Structure 1
Amino acid sequence: MKVMRTPDAAFEDIADFPFQPHYTEISDPQDGTALRVHYIDEGPRDAQVVLMMHGEPSWSYLYRHMIPPVAERGLRVVAPDLIGFGKSDKPSKKSDYSYARHVAWMRAWLEKLDLRNITLVCQDWGSLVGLRLVGEMPDRFAGVVLSNGGLPEGGPAPRAFAIWRAFSKWSPIFPIGKIVSAGTKRGLSDAEIAAYNAPFPDSGYTAAARIFPSFVPFKNNVAIPDQKKAWAVLEKFDKPFLCCFSDGDPVTRGGEARWIGRVPGTEGQPHTTLKGGHFIQEDDPKGFVDCILKVAKA
């Protein structure tokens, strides 16, 4: 496996991401390739962990407005970059990636850090990976805060997602910063767009971002059996599980209906509708933080 690493210089001009980088090396379970995972780690090391997981095609920069207020409440905030994104290593070929491999990579990282007593905060692919981790190791998790994501187990793809999947596969250009901006209601500044572009100096770094949409398990996707195994665990998960989907995401709007009542931990939770688009961390970070603080306890 050929692995690429975005030069540190690519991130030097980002003014609104003042967090100390941390790195952990894991081994790919299939061929033993060493992969470096970047993560943010803020707040007391002995406090409850709030694991903020980003999705496609973003990186931990997505949570920059949420990390400080949660850490300031005495919680330990850990925000990794998925392999292929941000400051983490990037296998160069699309064929290097699979849904199962992403889950295995993040499981290896989580186990190496030995994170426990975790409140999972997730959106987009952060939920597809993160909720699979809950399914595989529920004892490590104390709760879940889910926004604009899910755990598909077959069925047709929503029209808006089908369009996005085709674009990611066939478009000759793939302007990642502008893609993220289009997924917000407020729009992003030029500096913010540049920050989302930073991990991808050229198209050679974008294999993960390009291939991710094809992995979402609609129809007869190979990942469906693993999804069903995770759901079997989640259908018994009685720890706090709070949904806070946004009102303006054309793909996931109303997605809380798939969770409330099906997961025991959703009972009695103050489920909330946030204001914004798909990348709710950009549109309503305060509302998202408020939801986290209803579940995670210092």
Structure 2
Amino acid sequence: MKTLRTPDTQFENLPDFDFAPNYLMVDDSEGGELRVHYLDEGRKDADPILLLHGEPSWCYLYRKIIPILVAAGHRVIAPDLPGFGRSDKPAARTDYTYRRHVDWMQSVVDQLQLQNITLFCQDWGGLIGLRLVADNPDRFARVAAGNTMLPTGDHDPGEGFRKWQQFSQDTPEFHVGSIINSGTVTELSQDIIDAYNAPFPDESFKEGARQFPILVPTTPDDPASADNRAAWGILSQWTKPFITLFSDSDPVTGGGDKIMQKLIPGTQSQAHTIITGGGHFLQEDQGESLAELLITFIADNP
């Protein structure tokens, strides 16, 4: 598997992002090996909070949240998915599969020996993270889901997602920073947009960003559908704390919180919240509020 590695110079002097990089070599069931970047902030003896980003962002998305969680005494792990951020990027679109991404993140969890994890997942972070929870129920203590879902392809994904999927395949140039800006309620400054563009010096680095939208299961016979149904079999019996922290202005995942609240027993008696003033990328719009909600969720569910 051929991979691309974004030069370190691309990540110099990014606004509000002075975290130290960490790296692991990970492999998968298909024999693919690559380097994954992750942030590891806070007390190393504290139970970890695992923050998983989605498409087409990277761990820069969590820059507002991490310092608040660390100040509250938590350890925070925020990886870049392969194909994004400072992680290696497979050069061929065919090298991007749902299964591989679950395997690669499983390797991160295994190598860091994470236990008693609190997961926060958004967008594709949920598609991967909820599979990790189902595969490793003993490792996870709590789950917080924001603007995400675990689709099986058995239900219509909705017009908003279908339009996004088509756009991702048809647009001549995939403007990552502009896409993230369009998914927020607040208008991002140019230096923030540039920071989201930083991992992608040219279009050859964006094969993952283009491929992810069509990896989402939208038909019952999708290659990932059976695995996601099996994961739902586990989640439907999950009694540990599970909270939904969605935002009020996301046209893609709106209503997914109610499905989780109906199907996952651990959602009962939790302080589910619709965060006002937040778009799809609620970490950008309401990062500070989201961080405080996570701190309260952990404190209320020791």
Q: TM-score range by the shorter chain?
A: over 0.9
3-state SS in 2 of match to 1:206 = helix
Q: How does 1:72-221 map to 2 (within 5 A)?
A: 72-154=71-153, 155-220=155-220, 221=222
Contact 2:243–2:271, Cα closer than 8 Å, also in 1: yes
Distance in 1, matches of 2:81 and 2:295, equals 24
Moved more, 138-147 or 148-157: 148-157
Aligned residues: 297
8 Å CA contact 1:145, 1:291 repeated in 2: no
1:208-255 Cα offsets, whole Å, 9 max, x none, are: 000000011112322110001100111111111000111100011222
Alpha-carbon contact 2:15-2:192 (below 8 Å) kept: no
Structure 1 position 293, deviation (Å): 1.1
Matched, 1:22 2:22: yes
Q: Distance in 1 between matches of 2:229 and 2:170?
A: 30
Structure 1 window deviating more from structure 2 (288-297 vs 105-114): it is 288-297
Q: Distance in 1 between matches of 2:29 and 2:228?
A: 20
Q: Indicate whether 1:270 and 2:271 are aligned.
A: yes
Residue 75 of structure 1 deviates from its aligned partner by: 0.6
Q: How does 1:237-248 map to 2 (within 5 A)?
A: 237-248=238-249
- Superposition deviation, residue 292 in structure 1: 0.9
Once the two structures are superposed, residues 244-268 of structure 1 have per-residue CA deviations (whole angstroms, 9 ceiling, x without a partner) of: 1111000112221111131111010
Q: Secondary structure at the match of 1:114?
A: coil
Question: 1:16 aligns to what SS in structure 2?
Answer: coil
Cα separation, 2, equivalents of 1:29 and 1:254: 34
SS of structure 1 residue aligned to 2:298: coil
SS of 1:296's equivalent?
Answer: helix
Match of 1:260 in 2: 261
Question: SS at the partner of 1:149?
Answer: coil
1:295 is displaced (CA, Å) by 2.6
Match in the other structure for 1:67? 66
| Aligned-partner Cα distance in 2 for 1:264–1:238 | 5
Q: What amino acid sits opposite 1:10 in the alignment?
A: Q
- Measure how far apart 1:28 and its partner are: 3.3
**Partner Cα distance (2:44, 2:111) in 1:** 15
- The Cα offsets for residues 6-25 of structure 1, whole Å up to 9 and x where unpaired, read as 00001113131010111111
Percent identity, please. Answer: 48
1:5 alignment counterpart: 5
CA apart distance, 1:29: 2.7
Per-residue CA distance 1:102-160 (angstroms, 9 max, x = gap): 10111011111111110000100000000000010010000001110010112112101
**Any conservation in 1 of the 2:143–2:241 contact (CA below 8 Å)?**
yes
Is the CA contact 1:241–1:269 (under 8 Å) kept in the aligned structure 2?
yes
What is the rounded CA distance, in whole Å, between the counterparts of 1:64 and 1:172 in structure 2?
Answer: 30
| 2:275 partner SS | coil
- Deviation, structure 1 residue 296: 2.4
Residue in 1 that maps onto 2:53: 54
Alignment RMSD (CA, Å): 1.1
Deviation digits for residues 66-99 of structure 1, max 9, x if unmatched?
Answer: 0000011111000000011000000100000111
The secondary structure found in structure 2 opposite 1:70 is: helix
Specify the SS of the correspondent of 1:260. Answer: helix
Match of 1:283 in 2: 285
Q: Is the 8 A contact 1:152 1:227 kept in 2?
A: yes
Q: Is 2:297 the counterpart of 1:295? A: yes
Give the drift of 1:44: 0.5
Question: Match for residue 236 of structure 2?
Answer: 235
User: Is the 2:145–2:245 Cα contact (8 Å) retained in structure 1?
Assistant: yes
Moved segments of 4+, more than 3 Å: none
